[in-house]
Structure 1
Amino acid sequence: MSEVKAGLGYSEEHEWAAAGGGSLVRIGITDFAQNLLGDIVFVEFPEAGAALEANQPMGTIESVKTVSDLFSPLTGKVTQVNEALLDAPELVNSDPYGEGWIVEVEVDGDAAEAVKELLSAEQYEAFISAK
């Protein structure tokens, strides 16, 4: 069974979003997604300063099995990328909700309110259980 962390927002494309302070949101892929992908070998993410649109591709993630698009769960501007993934993409496998985060985004308004618009942990668990 995949881990679904409480307090995060989730997308149907299997990304998670965690509200930081103010208008900052950290984004990564879920444990469910990294389990499906298998061993992650490369992550391509947008550059800092890039504008992201909700539900639109923001990069790709490559595993030994496949290459998949990464989708932004929120609209905003990239403020930081996890450069550790350039040398250690396997962090997405070992710690998808921690060291394996992908980008940090500044949203318009309050981050917590933006994250509340996504699926809750309970809704996401129901969504992946139906798969």
Structure 2
Amino acid sequence: APCFTLHSQVTAEGQQMATELLAAAGANFFMDVYLGNDRMLAYFDTSGHDDQTLREIHELEPAPEYLSWAMDKGIFVRDEDGGLERGPNWGKPEQFCASESDYQRLLESVPAAYGFDNAGPRPSNQVAR
């Protein structure tokens, strides 16, 4: 995985360039760390936003098993030309909770999860900061 720790001499831009070069070279597995930052282990990696952006840039699709599941959940949909795009449930973890109170408990249990709003392929600026 194109990740780095806080004590390395790598920058976020360098990690993003390495990620893009690896995808262009055919790498086909990237991590999905919330907002790209594992606070417990103090390292940075790719996020779901990065993974999907790479798929869109390189016209790739997820593994068939994941894609089928994600389409059933409304995370992805097909456009009129058969292309894959983000569906109405992209970035909506509340769909996996049984109730609004369960979702609120989830949010309270992960205080580092600032929000789930998107700005194009990335978390929104307010969420990212």
Tell me the TM-score normalized by structure 1: 0.28
More RCO (CA 8 Å, sep 6+):
1
Larger helix proportion of the pair: 2
Mark the structure with the bigger radius of gyration: 2
Tell me the TM-score normalized by structure 2: 0.28
Larger strand proportion of the pair: 1
